[in-house]
Structure 1
Amino acid sequence: MVRADTPAAASVLAWDLPTRLAKWLLAALVGLAFASKYYGDPAMVWHQWNGLAILVLVVFRLLWGVVGGSTARFAAFVRGPSALLGYVGGLLKGRPAHYLGHNPLGALVILGLLGLVAAQGLTGLFTTDDIIVYGPMTPVASDATMARASALHQQIYPFLLALIGLHVVANLAYSLFGRDNLVRAMITGRKPAAAYVDRAPATPGSVIAALTCLALAVAIVFGGIALAGGNPFP
């Protein structure tokens, strides 16, 4: 029998390793993509590789959101309007419901980030400066498509930065003033044992499932570009 004051009893699994790795790798790649746009990559070769890697991670996360650990699945944390309004109401009253995984408001931010990052990566496939930079899909895209994609690629950028900033501030604020240290939990994968609205502890996804999702994500991104007539290798 485990005593209540032992580490095993003091914390429970919140997010499995593939979910955490995908989050931190995606954050690092987005940061590198922004850096490579402005520093030391005039031909945008590394920028394009970053974009392709980002698309692979986004596809992986979508697949993992179906077959991954219990708190990684979209069905587990994407909730309806009533749950969202109830959570926001409790938050405004200083009594928010306690979730092991993403709360309803956090779920919206996660979906928004995935959507904007995916849009940024997809438009990048068709982006060109007509001089040096040609995205992987420019060989089969019309001039109008490339012009529109290039414009959207620039227009999405400030919204993505704003949502990333909101996400960082919200996580830091919740870690400093809330009941959980979300930053530490996303590193260690564990949260204090407590009464959560969703199931605790989380059920991790399998390693085989994670590797399968990763292989499928690589095939979907690179294979999809090749099948569409593009150049998947910048």
Structure 2
Amino acid sequence: MQRTYVWDPVVRLFHWLLAAGFAANALFTDPEGDLHQYIGYAVAALIGVRLIWGLTGSSYARFSSFPLDAGAAAGQLSDIATGRVRHHPGHSPLGALMIYNLLLTLAGIGLTGYLMTTTTHWGTEWPEELHEVLVSWAEFSVVLHVAAVLFESRRTKVNLARAMVTGYKRLPETTAEPPR
């Protein structure tokens, strides 16, 4: 196994701050309170930073390194079903789908949350209803994401959670890239 540097500090900090912000707002803050709004704005700012970093950041942080690819995602599902293991230095195809899902869902949560504070939509029901649907979808997605990380870590024998803490994945020599 070779240690491969994959996740730069911006990606790792974004990931853990986003997780903390979403968890705080979903589980601990009063949805009617100012703290809920401030955390929501911080989450929206994090998404903005991640969008910029996805265009300008390190190689594995760039969106071009994990394109939306339904065929590759289907291939990964086939690999799972047949027991074939392929190692991905960056995001796997299914991981890429989850990243885009979470970014879009959280951006939608931020937008609908903001709309509820505007005079134009004050008292209008649809932004609040959509906000709640998106939060439920995000909660489901987060549970699926964590389960998939645990499952894929065990299946591929690559500790994905540790990689998001340290920045390094331990990959077989055949898939690992030379140290940077």
Q: Quick check: TM above 0.5? A: yes
- The alignment yields a C-alpha RMSD, in angstroms, of 2.1
Which of 41, 46, 49 pairs up with 1:60?
49
Q: Which amino acid aligns with 1:149?
A: P
8 A contact 1:36–1:46 mirrored in 2: no
Mapped to 1, the partners of 2:103 and 2:97 lie a distance apart of: 10
8 A contact 1:52–1:121 mirrored in 2: yes
Q: Which runs of 4+ in 1 moved over 6 A?
A: none
Q: Residue 35 of structure 1 aligns with which residue?
A: 27
**CA offset digits 1:145-202 (Å, max 9, x no partner):** x321111111212111110000011112222342200000110000124322xx7258
Mapped to 2, the partners of 1:142 and 1:102 lie a distance apart of: 38
Q: Residue 133 of structure 2 aligns with which residue?
A: 155
The runs of 5 or more residues in structure 1 that have no matched partner are: 1-8, 128-134, 204-234
Which of 150, 163, 175 pairs up with 2:153?
175
Report matched runs for 1:88-99 at 5 Å.
88-99=77-88
Mapped to 2, the partners of 1:202 and 1:180 lie a distance apart of: 17
Alignment of 1:23 onto 2:1: no
8 A contact 2:5–2:168 mirrored in 1: yes
Q: Which amino acid aligns with 1:192?
A: R
**CA offset digits 1:66-93 (Å, max 9, x no partner):** 1111111111112423322222222211
SS at match of 2:169: strand
The runs of 5 or more residues in structure 2 that have no matched partner are: none
Structure 1 residues 50 and 94: alpha-carbon distance in aligned structure 2, compared to 1, 3 A threshold: same
TM-score, normalised by the number of residues in structure 1: 0.70
Q: Residue 187 of structure 1 aligns with which residue?
A: 165
8 A contact 1:14–1:201 mirrored in 2: no
Q: Residue 14 of structure 1 aligns with which residue?
A: 6
Q: Residue 86 of structure 1 aligns with which residue?
A: 75
How big is the shift at 1:35? 2.9
Q: What is the aligned residue count?
A: 179
Which of 33, 38, 46 pairs up with 2:35?
46
TM-score, normalised by the number of residues in structure 2: 0.90
Structure 1 residues 167 and 98: alpha-carbon distance in aligned structure 2, compared to 1, 3 A threshold: same
Mapped to 2, the partners of 1:54 and 1:23 lie a distance apart of: 11
Q: Which amino acid aligns with 2:3?
A: S
Mapped to 2, the partners of 1:112 and 1:124 lie a distance apart of: 18
Alignment of 1:104 onto 2:96: no
Q: Which amino acid aligns with 1:167?
A: H
How big is the shift at 1:63? 1.0
How big is the shift at 1:59? 1.0
**CA offset digits 1:119-143 (Å, max 9, x no partner):** 111100022xxxxxxx2xx13x245
8 A contact 1:14–1:202 mirrored in 2: no
Mapped to 2, the partners of 1:43 and 1:90 lie a distance apart of: 45
